[in-house]
């Protein structure tokens, strides 16, 4: 197993731990945490691959390969935005139904 694959393994595990949290935890905030873990795992994935395998070195502007880094930066921004929206909604929901237990929020079905 190459060095890269170790990183990828960690990323996969991190991603799946996040997935576990996402489907297991009842607390909305915990679910958000799990989601953010998944995003972090993806960042790791991207940085690891682009750093260790490189892809092709040329880009449209002739820069060295830093696509992964840029993507990772943007990912972090997205994670922040997602967090903002999600947290605001969770707070609103809590105010409404006095609970942020996701299993209590299952009126819409069928």
Closest approach of Cβ 62 to other proteins, in Å? 10
CB 42 within 8 A of CB 79: no
Closest approach of Cβ 104 to other proteins, in Å? 9
Size of the site for other proteins (CB under 8 A): 106
Q: Give the separation between CA 14 and CA 61, rounded to whole angstroms.
A: 34
- List the interface residues with other proteins, window 22-81 (CB under 8 A): 22-57, 59-61, 63-81
Tokens of 56: 């092709």
Closest approach of Cβ 42 to other proteins, in Å? 5
Give the gyration radius of the chain's Cα atoms: 18
Q: Give the separation between CA 55 and CA 64, rounded to whole angstroms.
A: 10
């Amino acid at each position: 197993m190459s060095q890269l694959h170790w990183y990828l393994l960690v990323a996969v595990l991190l991603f799946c731990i996040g997935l576990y949290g996402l489907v297991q935890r009842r607390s909305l905030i915990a679910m958000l945490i799990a989601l953010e873990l998944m995003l972090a795992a993806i960042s790791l994935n991207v940085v690891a691959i682009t750093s260790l395998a490189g892809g092709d070195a040329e880009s449209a502007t002739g820069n060295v390969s830093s696509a992964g880094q840029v993507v990772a930066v943007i990912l972090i921004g997205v994670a922040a935005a997602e967090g903002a929206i999600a947290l605001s909604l969770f707070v609103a929901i809590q105010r409404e139904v006095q609970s942020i237990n996701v299993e209590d929020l299952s009126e819409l079905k069928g």
